Chain A
Amino acid sequence: SSELTQDPAVSVALGQTVRITCQGDSLRSYYPSWYQQRPGQAPVVVIYGKNHRPSGIPDRFSGSSSGNTTSLTITGAQTEDEADYYCSSRVSSGYSWVFGGGTKLTVL
Chain B
Amino acid sequence: QLQLQESGPGLVKPSETLSLTCSVSGGSIRSSIYYWGWIRQPPGKGLEWIGSIHHSGNTYYNPSLNSRVTISVDTSMNQFSLNLTSVTAADTAIYYCARLLLAIDVWGKGTMVTVSS
The interface of chain A, by Cβ under 8 A from chain B, is 31, 33, 35, 37, 42-45, 48-49, 52, 54, 86, 88, 93-102
CB-defined contacts of B47 to chain A, threshold 8 Å: 35, 37, 43, 86, 88, 99, 102
A64 to B32, CA, bound (A): 29
Residues of B within 8 A of A (CB): 35, 37, 39, 46-49, 52, 54, 58, 60-62, 96, 100, 102-105, 107-110
What's the nearest-Cβ distance from chain B to residue A38, in Å? Answer: 13
Interface SS of B by simple majority = strand
User: How many residue pairs at the A-B interface have CB separations less than 8 Å?
Assistant: 61
A95 lies within 8 A of B104 (CB): no
For B103, give its contact among A37, A48, A94, A99 (CB under 8 Å). Answer: A48
B60 touching A94, Cβ below 8 Å: yes
Q: Pick the residue among B39, B62, B100, B107 that contacts A44 (CB under 8 A).
A: B107
Please indicate the chain B residues that have their CB under 8 angstroms from the CB of A100 in the complex. 46
Q: How far is the CB of A26 from chain B (nearest CB, A)?
A: 12
The residue on A at minimum CB distance from B101 is: A48
List 9 extra interface pairs beyond A52-B102, A99-B48, CB under 8 A: A37-B47, A54-B105, A88-B49, A95-B54, A97-B49, A97-B52, A97-B104, A99-B47, A102-B46
15 A-B residue pairings within 8 Å (CB atoms):
A33-B103, A42-B96, A42-B108, A43-B47, A48-B102, A86-B46, A88-B47, A95-B58, A96-B61, A97-B100, A98-B49, A99-B49, A100-B46, A102-B46, A102-B47
